Amino acid sequence: MDAGVAGILSLFLILSTMCFMLWKNNRKQGQLPPGPAPWFLLGNLWQKDVLPLHKSYQKLSKKYGPVFTVWLGPKPAVVLCGYEAVRNALVGQAEEFGGRAAILNCIFSGLVTGSEKKWRELRRFTIATLRDFGMGKKTMAQRVQEEAQYLVKVFDPITSIRHAVSNVVCAVVFGSRFSYKDEAFLELLGMIGNYIHYFISPFAQVCTSASPLSPLGTSHLSPWGISPLSLEKLKNFIRKKIDSHKQTLEPSCPRDYIDCFLIKSEKGKSTSGDVFSDENLLMAVFDLFGAGTVSTANTLLFFLLVMAKFPQIQAKVQQEIEKAVGAIRAPGIEDRVRMPYTNAVIHELQRSQKAQSENFPRAVTRRTEFWGYTIPQGTTVIPMFRSVHSDPKQWETPEEFNPGHFLDEKGEFRPNKAFMPFSAGKRMCPGEGLARMELFLFFSTLLQNFTFKLVTDLKEMDILSLWVDYQNKGPYSKFQVIRR
């Protein structure tokens, strides 16, 4: 027999044995929720009626209930659907469901991924630092306002939204902003964009959860524009910023997140071990960019697309902005209380976006009893937040775009407990305050200065079809931007 064929057969036999043992071990350890029958070795991979979950979860939850199991290769993943299941797990049993599944630890680990001890310390430090630098306060609002004014001065704000959002993060992390034409800045955004595009893809979950694919290492990243060379280039960009900060650091007067991290590293050498190391600073900076740039920019673009589809809602928002702040003064964060309709529209836009938070799975930290099932320690858990945002028990018209979901009888803003765009529980987004501020200030400033219109042949498309079409083809075939 040819040596190559023999090697392949041997590898297949080894993997098959591993898969069988993993499957048998999982069956012994716990009583998992029901779910579609897995194929040998592959689990539910390539079963079109099962994966990707964002297309099948409704059908599967109707058949198996709000808690069910799918198999990513030989490993099970418990899926949570609907407000009650998600809240009971992430909030009601926050400690048990507070682990993070191993995704892309082969590349980075920090605020998003990483060990529990390191994650806890870095998260606590980051939240405190962002708060010290004004997250949710007037000082940070002024930075966002300033960047919003740069944005509305450019000829085409659509193409510059990601630059503007990224500059807010740059101000927090590096202490300065970049020109929208800076080549190093644009290259940085391109590399981060490729990484996030991969990270939120269903393929990422498969490659990091399914044992048969783990030997691929990082070789499967190339189709997303992520090569070992580009990753090293990205790391070097951040390292240079860190080195520059070290040379100019004034411990009594920190300028930004990097300064605060370096000061903490020096003070905590004897107590924090390797948590506040240079490598973890690099990872934390990357996580902040990944979480705070592409997702926020895409959310704003989605906002504008929906406003173009619903011109009557856009006009009502613009009228409220004019009434609250006029046409000259820029909207401030303090104006939000005087703009309940605009605030409601922003919340409804987030609800309707069908956010991809489920691409950041959890893991149970110990053997866990939940809704009559026993989930083994380390099992991946996927909370379907889009199912929470379309739960008919929580929303009057879940399939319609309706700002009334967040307005009371008097037209005042009304929060909803089932609104979870930033996740929930222990792993809730640490930058939620900054993101909320950015969404309000950028959105209100853009609508104060521009009107957005769709091209005529797209007006009959539903919101999500429009968004998918936009992502595939780009903005120019969708938008008309008219300066007011």
Give me the CATH number covering residue 186: 1.10.630.10
Binding positions for heme are 429
Q: Is the pLDDT of residue 480 over 80?
A: yes
DSSP state of 44: T
| 19 part of a folded domain | no
Q: What is the C-alpha separation between 389 and 400, in angstroms, rounded?
A: 11
Q: Is the pLDDT of residue 82 over 90?
A: yes
Q: How far apart are the first and last CA of the chain?
A: 75
State how far the alpha carbon of 410 is from the alpha carbons of 336, 341, 406, 414, in Å. Answer: 17, 11, 11, 10
Phi/psi of residue 104, nearest 5 degrees: 60, 25
Q: Count the domains in the chain.
A: 1
Binding positions are 429
* Mean pLDDT of all residues belonging to the chain: 82
pLDDT-derived band of residue 347, with 50, 70 and 90 as boundaries? Answer: very high
pLDDT-derived band of residue 293, with 50, 70 and 90 as boundaries? Answer: confident
pLDDT score for 110:
52
The H or E element that residue 147 is part of is: helix 138-153
| 21 part of a folded domain | no
| 171 part of a folded domain | yes
Q: Which residues of 420-457 are buried (b: 16+ CB within 10 A; e: fewer)?
A: bbbbbbbbebbbbbbbbbbbbbbbbbbbbbbbbbbeee
Please state which of the ranges 14-23, 28-37, 297-306 shows the lowest mean pLDDT: 14-23
Phi/psi of residue 450, nearest 5 degrees: -135, 155
| 12 part of a folded domain | no
Residues 6+ apart with CB under 8 A from 331: 145, 321, 324, 325, 339, 440, 441, 444, 445, 448
Residues 6+ apart with CB under 8 A from 45: 39, 51, 71, 72, 73, 206, 210
Q: How do residues 371-411 score in pLDDT, each as one tens digit?
A: 999 999 999 999 999 999 999 999 999 999 999 999 999 99
What is the CA 466 to chain-centroid distance, rounded?
20
Please state which of the ranges 117-121, 286-290, 360-364 shows the lowest mean pLDDT: 117-121
Check residues 26 and 121 and name the one with the higher pLDDT: 121
Please state which of the ranges 92-96, 386-390, 453-457 shows the lowest mean pLDDT: 453-457
Q: How do residues 56-70 score in pLDDT, each as one tens digit?
A: 888 999 999 999 999
| 9 part of a folded domain | no
* For range 194-213, the mean pLDDT: 57
pLDDT score for 220:
44
pLDDT score for 314:
98
pLDDT-derived band of residue 109, with 50, 70 and 90 as boundaries? Answer: low
Q: What is the C-alpha separation between 169 and 184, in angstroms, rounded?
A: 16
pLDDT score for 222:
46
Q: Are 16 and 41 in contact (CB under 8 A)?
A: yes
Q: What is the C-alpha separation between 122 and 279, in angstroms, rounded?
A: 12
* For range 164-179, the mean pLDDT: 91
The H or E element that residue 153 is part of is: helix 138-153
Reference 189, options 113, 123, 286, 118; nearest CA is 286
Q: Is the pLDDT of residue 478 over 60?
A: yes
Neighbours of 389 (CB within 10 A): 24
Helix and strand totals (H; E) in the chain = 17, 9
Within 13 A of 304's CA, how many CA atoms are on the CB side?
A: 29
- Model-level pTM? 0.86
Q: Is the pLDDT of residue 99 over 60?
A: yes
Q: Which two tokens stand for residue 250?
A: 């004034």
Greatest mean pLDDT range, 125-139, 145-159, 184-198, 464-478: 145-159
Q: Is the pLDDT of residue 171 over 70?
A: yes
In sign, the C-alpha dihedral spanning 262, 268, 270, 273 is: negative
Q: Is the pLDDT of residue 225 over 70?
A: no
pLDDT score for 30:
59
Q: Which two tokens stand for residue 187?
A: 């290259």
Q: Which two tokens stand for residue 330?
A: 């820029």
Q: How do residues 115-165 score in pLDDT, each as one tens digit?
A: 667 777 888 888 888 877 665 555 788 889 999 999 988 867 777 898 999
pLDDT-derived band of residue 217, with 50, 70 and 90 as boundaries? Answer: very low
| 369 part of a folded domain | yes
pLDDT score for 214:
45
Please state which of the ranges 10-19, 345-354, 473-482 shows the lowest mean pLDDT: 10-19
Neighbours of 102 (CB within 10 A): 17
Please state which of the ranges 117-121, 193-197, 442-446, 449-453 shows the lowest mean pLDDT: 193-197
Q: Is 68 strand, coil or helix?
A: strand
Phi/psi of residue 185, nearest 5 degrees: -65, -45
Please state which of the ranges 110-114, 163-167, 196-200 shows the lowest mean pLDDT: 110-114
Q: Is the pLDDT of residue 21 over 70?
A: no
Indicate the pairing of strand 75-81 with strand 380-384. parallel
Q: Is the pLDDT of residue 208 over 60?
A: no
| 173 part of a folded domain | yes
pLDDT-derived band of residue 218, with 50, 70 and 90 as boundaries? Answer: very low
pLDDT above 70 as % of the chain: 77
Please state which of the ranges 437-441, 448-452, 464-468 shows the lowest mean pLDDT: 464-468
- Which structural domain, as residue segments, surrounds residue 233? 31-483
